[in-house]
Structure 1
Amino acid sequence: MIKKIDLTVGNIDNLVNFYKEGYLELLKIVQTNNLLGKSNVQKLSLMAQVDKILLELDEGTKVWIGANIPEMYRQGSVDMVNELNKLKGEVKITDFNSLHQDAVRVIADESYLGFAEALKTVKRDIVSTFGLVTKQEIVGELATGIISGKTLPQVQKDIQAVLKDHGVVSLIDKGGKTWQLDTYSEMLARTKMVEAYRVGGELRLIENGYDLVQITVHGAADDCRLVEGKVYSLTGQTPDYPNLDEIMNMSNHIFRPNCRHRTIPYISELEKNPDEFKRLSNKDQEIKDKTLRKVGFSTIGDGR
C-alpha cells in the first residue's frame, strides 16, 4: 500500500493557528465601530498596530518555512526511496547534495513569496478600508455639519453599506477563488508542503537513475481524474512517455491548492502490462478504475 503523506510532519496547525490569531486581531481593528469617529492620530495608531501584526506574521512565517519545508522535503525523499526499495531493494539514502539543497531553497523562497504577497494584499485592503471610512465621514460632515448625536448611526450605516463587500478577504488564488487570510495560509502551507514532499522524492529517483513516475489514484471527481494512474517521465528523456512538465495541460487541478495527489515510482519491467500503461498514459481521456485494475494498478483509494 502506498504511504499517505503525513502533513503533521510540517506542523501546519501551528502556522494556521498563528495566522488565525493575527487575522482576528486585524478584523477587530478594521471593524466599522472601531474606526468610526477616530481622529487622524488615532487612526495612525491603529495602522501602526496593523503593521506590527503583519510584521509578526511575516517573521513567524520565515521561521516556520525554515524549519518545516526542509523536513518535508527530506520526508518525501525517504518515503520515495522506501517505496522504490519495496520494488527493487537496492537504493540507499545518501546525504543531501547541492542539488537537493538548491531545490529546498527554491521551494522555501517560493513559499515565502506566496505568504508575503498575501500579507501585502491584506495591508492594501486595510489601507483602503481606512480610506473609505474617512471618505464617508467627510461626506457625513458635509451633509450634517458634524458626526455626532443622532447623525452618528446614519453615518455608521452608510459606512457599513460601503464596506459590506470590502475588508480583509480579497486573497485570490490562480483559479479565481477568494480566501480569507487564515484559510489562505492553511491552503498555501498544505500546497507547498506537499510540493516539497513530492519534489524531494522525484529528485531522489532521478539521482538513482529512475525516470518514470505514476500519479496516485483517489477516485478524483475533478480534472485530476484525467491523469490518475498515468505514467510520466520526470526528465522527458524516456521515449514514448509524456513529460511530467506537460501534466498541467491535462488537468487544471493536479498539484494545485489542496491537491492530494503525488507521484510514486514506476518500473516498467516489473509491471504486468507495461505497453498498455504506456498507451493509456498518452491518451487524453481518463483511465477507468476497471481498466486500472486490469492492467495491475493496485493503489486505488490509497493516499487520501
Structure 2
Amino acid sequence: MNYEKILQDVLKYYNKNKPDIPDRVLDKDANRIINIYKVTYQNILNYLVSELSIQGDLSHINHNTYMSMMAQIEHMLKSMEVDVRNEVTEVIEKEFVRGTVYHYAIINGVTDVAQILLDMPFSQINWNKANQLIADTMEDLLYATSFTEQSIKRLVKDVVSKHLQLGALEGEAYKNIKKRITSELTAKGLSKTIKQKGFIGIIDKSGRKWNIITYTDMLVQTKMQQAYTEGLKEQAIQDGHDLAQIPYKSAKDSCKNFEGMVISMTGQTKGFYTYDQLKATGLIFHPRCRHTPFPIYSMDTLHPDDIKDHEKKMTDLKKLGKNKK
C-alpha cells in the first residue's frame, strides 16, 4: 500500500473553507474483484461445456471423469480465492485508511501531506481493526463461493447421470426421453443450465436466488463503504469529535428523510442518533447506499439553516418512531 498516495488522494477532496464530500466512487476498486469472479466462472463454464456437452465420442463420461472434473473445479475456485483475498486486502485497507485520514484532516484542519505523515504515521493506523474487516469480508465472500461450488458440483453430478442414462436408453419407447435429454446436453442447453442453476451465490430468507456476480458486487461495495465508515469511527474516538452530517444527495428513496441530519458516529456525543441506530432501520446506510457521513467539529460550525434542517429531521424521525409504537 502506498500510504502517501492515499493521503494525497484524500486531501485533494478536502476544501477547508467550504467542506464538501463528493460521491465516493467505489466501482473501480470493486470491479477488479468482480472481474476475478467473472473470469473464473467463465472459465468454469467453458470447461464444463467442453467436457460435458454432446459432441463426438462420449465414452469417456464415467465416474473417473466426474472425480477429475470435481478436482479441476476445486482447483480453479481455490486459485480464485487467493486472487480475491489479495484484492480484498488491498481495497479494504485502503478504504479504512481513507476514512481515518479524512476524519483527521477535517477535524484538525490539516491539508498538508507532510504534516499528516508526521502526526499520523503509517504505524499508528489500527491494523487490527482493518484486518478484522478483511476477515469479515472474506468470510461472507467464501460463504457465497462455497454455495456456488456446491451448486456446480450437484449440477455436474446430475449431467453425468444424464449422460449415463442416455447411453442406456434404447428402443422406440425411449425416443422422446432420449430427445429431451439430448437437447439438455447440447452446448447451448448445457450452458444455459449452468448459468441458471450453477452460478448461484446465496438464497436469501425470502427464497430469492442471487446470481454470484450480482451478490458479490453488492457485498464488495457494501464492505468497502463499511471499511471507510469504520475508519471515520476509529479516528472519531481518537480525535474526541464524533459528530458527522449526512450529506445531501437528492436521494429519491428513504435516504432523503435523513439528508442533512447530524449523527454521532460512535455514540460518544449524547442527544444524537448514532450511525448504528440509523443503519439498523434499514432506511439508510443500506447495501450500495451512497451516503457517507461527513465529519464536523461541532454543531457551531454549521450554517443556521443546516441546524434548522437537522432539528426538523430529528423531530420527524421521533414522530415516526412514536407512530410505530
TM-score (norm 1): 0.77
Q: Which residue of 2 aligns with 1:113?
A: 139
Secondary structure of the structure 2 residue equivalent to 1:166: helix
Aligned-partner residue type, residue 46 of structure 2: K
Structure 1: how far apart are the matches of 2:141 and 2:236?
30
Aligned-partner residue type, residue 18 of structure 1: I
Secondary structure of the structure 1 residue equivalent to 2:126: helix
- In the alignment, does 2:33 pair up with 1:15? yes
Conserved 8 A contact 1:23-1:182: no
Conserved 8 A contact 1:241-1:282: no
Q: 1:251 to 1:128 in 2, by over 3 A?
A: same
Q: 1:124 to 1:99 in 2, by over 3 A?
A: same
Conserved 8 A contact 2:243-2:263: yes
- In the alignment, does 2:269 pair up with 1:238? yes
Name whichever of 44-53 and 266-275 sits farther off: 266-275
The equivalences for 1:157-236 within 5 A come to: 157=183, 163=193, 165-172=196-203, 178-236=209-267
* C-alpha deviation, 1:239, in angstroms: 2.6
Q: Which residue of 2 aligns with 1:123?
A: 149
Structure 1: how far apart are the matches of 2:176 and 2:207?
42
Bigger proportion of residues as helix: 2
Q: Which residue of 1 aligns with 2:317?
A: 284
Structure 1: how far apart are the matches of 2:206 and 2:140?
15
Secondary structure of the structure 1 residue equivalent to 2:65: helix
Secondary structure of the structure 1 residue equivalent to 2:148: helix
Q: Which residue of 2 aligns with 1:262?
A: 292
Q: 1:241 to 1:21 in 2, by over 3 A?
A: same
Q: Which residue of 2 aligns with 1:293?
A: none
Identity %: 22
Q: 1:4 to 1:276 in 2, by over 3 A?
A: closer
Structure 2: how far apart are the matches of 1:177 and 1:217?
33
* C-alpha deviation, 1:86, in angstroms: 5.0
Conserved 8 A contact 1:231-1:241: yes
Aligned-partner residue type, residue 199 of structure 1: E
Q: Which residue of 1 aligns with 2:75?
A: 52
Structure 2: how far apart are the matches of 1:258 and 1:178?
19
Aligned-partner residue type, residue 246 of structure 2: I
Conserved 8 A contact 2:260-2:309: no
Unaligned runs of 5+ in 1: 287-304
User: Over residues 42-87 of structure 1, what are the superposed CA-to-partner deviations in whole Å (9 max), with x where a residue is unaligned?
Assistant: 2222222211110011111221222232122112222222333459
Aligned-partner residue type, residue 63 of structure 1: N
Structure 2: how far apart are the matches of 1:198 and 1:111?
15
Conserved 8 A contact 1:250-1:284: no
* C-alpha deviation, 1:276, in angstroms: 5.4
* C-alpha deviation, 1:284, in angstroms: 2.4
Q: Which residue of 2 aligns with 1:102?
A: 128
The size of the alignment, in residue pairs, is 282
Structure 2: how far apart are the matches of 1:275 and 1:75?
30
CA RMSD of aligned residues (A): 3.7
Q: 1:170 to 1:199 in 2, by over 3 A?
A: closer
Structure 2: how far apart are the matches of 1:39 and 1:238?
67
Aligned-partner residue type, residue 101 of structure 2: V
Query: Which of residues 37, 40, 44 in structure 1 aligns to 2:63?
Result: 40
Aligned-partner residue type, residue 135 of structure 2: D
Name whichever of 136-145 and 23-32 sits farther off: 136-145
Q: 1:126 to 1:271 in 2, by over 3 A?
A: same
Q: Which residue of 2 aligns with 1:291?
A: none
Conserved 8 A contact 2:130-2:227: yes
Q: 1:152 to 1:60 in 2, by over 3 A?
A: same
Q: 1:31 to 1:219 in 2, by over 3 A?
A: farther
Q: 1:276 to 1:18 in 2, by over 3 A?
A: closer
Aligned-partner residue type, residue 26 of structure 2: L
User: Over residues 84-114 of structure 1, what are the superposed CA-to-partner deviations in whole Å (9 max), with x where a residue is unaligned?
Assistant: 345999x965246778222201111111112
Name whichever of 38-47 and 154-163 sits farther off: 154-163
Aligned-partner residue type, residue 313 of structure 2: L
- In the alignment, does 2:21 pair up with 1:2? yes
Q: Which residue of 2 aligns with 1:144?
A: 170
